[in-house]
A = this chain, B = another copy of it.
Amino acid sequence: MQKPAKYEQAIKTKYPEQVVIAIAKDKKGKANPVTLGWTMTASGEPPMMAIAVAKTHYSIKTIRHSKCFTIAFPSSDMAEAALFFGSKSGRDTDKFAEFDCKIEPAQKIDSVLLSDAVANFECTLEWQKAAGDHIIFVGKVVACHVNTKRKKRLYTVGSGHKMGSFS
């Protein structure tokens, strides 16, 4: 049976929510990773993915500058990196310089991949559109990479950025 609820209460039932790390370079060439839970596949043919990024985030500028971005699926052992990349701003931090996280160059776009992620998707910016306090970016997947080892995806399993994986 249903009962009315405030949005803040109802949306807490969304967990576990998948985590991705989106990466784009700014105009100085600095690769800037941001941790996002608001993401989905958007098209099968051609393959496209969507992310929603807060309008205030530095990542907006980096994606608009690069017109491309990586979407990485962090593995369950990357919770600390995901928290760091999600809590610092690229405006005043070189996140990859401050947090030890293995990266490697992307193949088809000017971005980087996360070496320890479950998978990385190289995307070219297809379109962007505002939705409330976020911008939805849709990217076309132009190259994919998977980990040579079998790993589990990272999820936010509850409020307060509590993270974990499917057991």
Q: Which residues of A contact B (CB under 8 A)?
A: 1-7, 9-11, 13-18, 37-48, 50, 52, 54, 73, 104, 107, 113, 115, 117-121, 126-127, 129, 131-134, 136, 138, 140-141, 143-149, 153, 155, 157, 166-167
Residues in B neighbouring A146, C-beta threshold 8 A: 2-3, 5, 9-10, 13
A13 vs B76: C-alpha distance when bound (angstroms): 12
Copies in the complex: 2
Main secondary structure of the interface of A (DSSP, over half): strand
Closest to A151 in B: B13
Interface pair B41/A117, CB less than 8 Å apart: no
Closest to A153 in B: B13
